Amino acid sequence: MGGGGGGGGKGGLYREEKPAVSQHLDLCQSTTMYLHLLILLQLLSSAGASESGIVGGKEAKPHSRPYMVSLQHRGYHVCGGMLIRKDFVLTSAHCLRDAFPLTVVLGAHNLTKEEKKSRQEIQVSLYLRHPLHQNITQYSYDIMLLKLQTNAVLNEYVKVIGLPNEVKHIPARTTCSVAGWGKTEPDKTSRAANVLMEVEVTMQFNFECLNKLREYFISSQMICTDDGRKGFCQGDSGGPVICKNKNVAQGIIAFFGNSLKCDDRKLPRVYMNISFFTSWIEQSEVPQPQTNYIHRLKLLGQIFTLRVLLLGQIFTLMVLLLGQTVTLRVLLVGQILTLRVLLVGQTVTLRVLLLGQTVTLRVLLLGQTITLRDLLLGQTFTLRVLLVGQTFTLRDLLVGQTFTLRVLLVGQTVTLRVLLVGQTFTLRVLLMGQTFTLRVLLVGQIFTLRDLLVGQTFTLRVLLVGQTFTLRVLLVGQTVTLRVLLLGQIVILRVLLVGQIFTLRVLLVQLDMKDPDHSLKELAHICMMADCILIQAWREEKPAVSQHLDLCQSTTMYLHLLILLQLLSSAGEFI
């Protein structure tokens, strides 16, 4: 995997394709420098990780794309970008390397000419990578804002491009276009283009890219195209994807599947979906404190601030280290989540305003340490605490997701009490003969969970409007089966367990008893758009349902999730 986001490969790769390198590698065999050199070479060869050009395209009409930006280092083109405000440029996060300052070039067409009439060159004053983008070889959250030292002068050669104003899925088979000054041929000796090139590309279904790229493709924040030998190549990363509305950028060029060949017919090209990041972009455009990076950490009693996109809201983490206070504030669906931690033998208190109620968690650390790793929005939230020499692991997927707790306390007991909607919730877990108790009542109903982990069965039974909801889960790579009886509604759930991305999406579709055919077509359409996994009906009893649900078969993804349309005795009332 490579292109615009890092790639795989072993040391032998360079001996086969780079014999000259092999001679130098032999000098490093006895030292750790060998490994370091291999890593460096891999980063350089995975072209898109540092600079991902247009292959199979044509020269663009001069200045027909006045929002295009050439990011340069010491006069050499590195990446593309787009002007979204007179003082901000949007590009890929992997285009930036430490000690690698970039210059923004606007109003350019032929990079080998001066173009004094149209060109503007402006230095960057602030690099704002998305805080969840870890390094240049990471694929997710590959987006960055560049704050310009001086405002661009807008004219016929330099204009801004608009951004989506809502999270939007670009339909498959939509024709879009990309442009850049990158390579025009995929071979190693090919040079970057002197003039701006452009090419049309076709959007693919998310499931098609998932099947080919698997864990490298995150459908919630990425889109993809697969046009064989047509598309972007090294040097085009950060450039925009333009679809039907020529005044709005829908994506950012990110990476291609093969780190060595940008025209690999077997693997698609991937872009960041800008609409997923709109709220983060708007928030980051607010003037920031004078610091090189938004995620800079100042130790010894200083403040660490992290801003994360969470359902269009802001997640801010402020940490005062060494016996100080940790405060976590999250705007969660309009509510506030606050975590206050007093380290080194102090008390951990978690207070959450959720549905107007308060959740409090108190833990005694007994002089041990606490480490919090948080990747929100479909990622895994891991809290590791050394508690009397033991390990406490909490994986929490917020916002309607599933809360999974694993505890190894060897004779210890963990008790968590939570008030949610003023009711009581009871959770009992048998772990190595120990007991974990959580008490809560949900809307006057009783929620009981018994969990035997690692290959055992997880059964959840809930009384919902007099109906029964049963969830059976076989953990550690097993399957999930959901059976629902909710007054003629349909629930669609997507899950990847054990360290994978866990996404819960529920679509409640009221089937119209007067026009069941239209309702089922609507359901099938929603299934296609939401990339639901697999829906089957009782074909022998409902052949009409089966006919419409066949439209969803092609969207099978990570695991087989079976949703059975349960038939009430009065089935005709809703189907």
User: pLDDT tens track of the chain, all 575 residues?
Assistant: 544 433 333 333 333 334 343 444 343 333 334 333 333 333 333 333 333 456 767 899 999 999 999 999 888 898 999 999 999 999 999 888 765 789 999 999 999 998 999 999 999 999 998 888 876 566 788 999 999 999 999 999 999 999 998 877 788 889 999 999 987 766 655 667 789 999 999 898 888 888 887 778 888 889 988 766 677 787 788 999 999 899 999 999 988 765 556 766 677 888 999 998 988 998 876 544 333 333 332 222 233 333 222 233 333 333 222 333 333 332 223 333 333 332 233 333 333 222 333 333 322 223 333 333 332 233 332 333 222 333 333 333 223 333 333 332 233 333 332 222 332 333 333 223 333 333 322 233 333 333 322 333 333 323 233 333 333 332 233 333 333 323 333 333 333 222 323 232 223 333 444 555 555 555 444 444 333 333 333 334 445 444 444 443 433 332 233 333 333 322 333 32
Catalytic one of 70, 142, 236, 519: 142
CB 364 within 8 A of CB 298: no
Catalytic one of 50, 77, 94, 275: 94
The residues, any chain, with a CB within 8 Å of residue 515's CB and separated by 6 or more, are none
Residue type, 337: L
CB 480 within 8 A of CB 465: no
Structure tokens at 362: 């108190």
> Catalytic: 550?
no
Catalytic one of 237, 259, 284, 519: 237
What is the spatial distance between Cα 381 and Cα 374, in angstroms, rounded to a whole number?
5
What is the spatial distance between Cα 116 and Cα 110, in angstroms, rounded to a whole number?
11
CB 406 within 8 A of CB 419: no
Q: Is the pTM of this model over 0.85?
A: no
What is the spatial distance between Cα 68 and Cα 238, in angstroms, rounded to a whole number?
10
Per-residue b or e along 71-81, where b marks 16 or more CB atoms closer than 10 Å to that residue's CB: bbeeeebbbbb
> Catalytic: 26?
no
Structure tokens at 162: 């608009």
Whole-number pLDDT of residue 521: 53
> Catalytic: 77?
no
